[in-house]
Structure 1
Amino acid sequence: MNGLKKITMVLLVIIGSTLTFSCSKDDEKVEEPKLTPSQILSSISWETTNAKDNQGNDVVLTNLNVSNFVGFAYFKTNGTFTMYNLDNSPKMHGDWSVSADGKKRTIVAKNDAGVVLFTRVVDITVLTKEEFTYRIYPNNNDKTIYFDIIHTPTTHKEPQK
């Protein structure tokens, strides 16, 4: 009888080990293909949801230092963008690009006739599928004072002109 218990115990250990090891691959996460910074930016509709100052403090979105950067942004894969204020009124449109290393975003705002109004290059501090943050400087000669403009994904549909 003692031998039967030993054999039963060995069989249970073997069966348990087999089940544990045979199922381990089912739990492995399938890795998603790595997206370029441009692909990340253009694959998501963005909404400004927060801003922080150089001390890390939250800044209300109506603050004059950040209010011009607040709204919905739609970066298209063809290199064009449109931005709207939070009330859906048009803000600007034009062309965009992100450096290959994901550290700079450039927008070239244009009027309806295609004439360039301005070009803005900003430092990107975060660019993931969950957050897009860039830094602005009220005075380009003083890099110690800045505001980080934080965007998160939105399901808000792009308004039609």
Structure 2
Amino acid sequence: MKNLKMIAMLCYMVICTLLLGSCSKDDEVTPEPQLTPSEILASTAWETTNAKNNKGENVVLTDANVSNFVGFAYFKSDGTFTMFNLDDSPKMHGDWSVSADGKTRTIVAKNAAGETLFTRIVDITVLTKEEFTYRIYPNNDNKSVYFDIIHTPTTHTEPK
């Protein structure tokens, strides 16, 4: 009986040691910090990879309704941006911002002298680390016809 108690106590100690030893800080998951909409947009380079119309149908990127919005975009954390066509030719540069609620993006395109060429405000429909989609309206008076311009992260190096 004494030996049985000794074996039981030994087994109990081995099990407790194994359980305590398996508890490790390596298993703790550190939550990713919450990024603001502006931080998300500036966190990566973006490439136009798709466009959809108001019916949810894919639109080829060469379609006249969307081709002006296709390319590579580089939003820097200092509030400036550069955009290039898919052949790496320069498209535009200037200043950008995203509303605090992440619902709109504003770009102010500038010429080489720093003078404003135009300002464009678009509705953001998706803004995550995996996708940036904004909506354009061919006719601002008709919100039923629109195109969603879809961008995904790219490792494409910004042309000089």
TM over 0.5: yes
d(CA) in 1 for partners of 2:18 and 2:56? 52
Cα deviation for residue 2 of structure 1 reads: 4.2
Instruction: Give the TM-score, by structure 1 length.
Output: 0.87
AA partner of residue 144 (structure 1): S
AA partner of residue 69 (structure 1): F
Percent identity (aligned): 68
d(CA) in 2 for partners of 1:134 and 1:83? 15
Tell me the equivalent position of 1:18. 20
3-state DSSP of counterpart to 2:114: coil
d(CA) in 2 for partners of 1:41 and 1:132? 8
AA partner of residue 104 (structure 2): K
Tell me the equivalent position of 1:51. 51
Alignment of 1:108-119 (within 5 A): 108-119=108-119
Tell me the equivalent position of 2:82. 82
Cα deviation for residue 31 of structure 1 reads: 2.2
Alignment of 1:10-159 (within 5 A): 10-20=12-22, 22-23=23-24, 25-159=25-159
AA partner of residue 132 (structure 1): F
Cα deviation for residue 4 of structure 1 reads: 4.7
AA partner of residue 73 (structure 2): A
d(CA) in 2 for partners of 1:3 and 1:83? 77
* Unmatched 5+ stretches in structure 1: none
* Unmatched 5+ stretches in structure 2: none
Number of residues of Structure 1 aligned to a counterpart in Structure 2: 158
d(CA) in 2 for partners of 1:79 and 1:101? 17
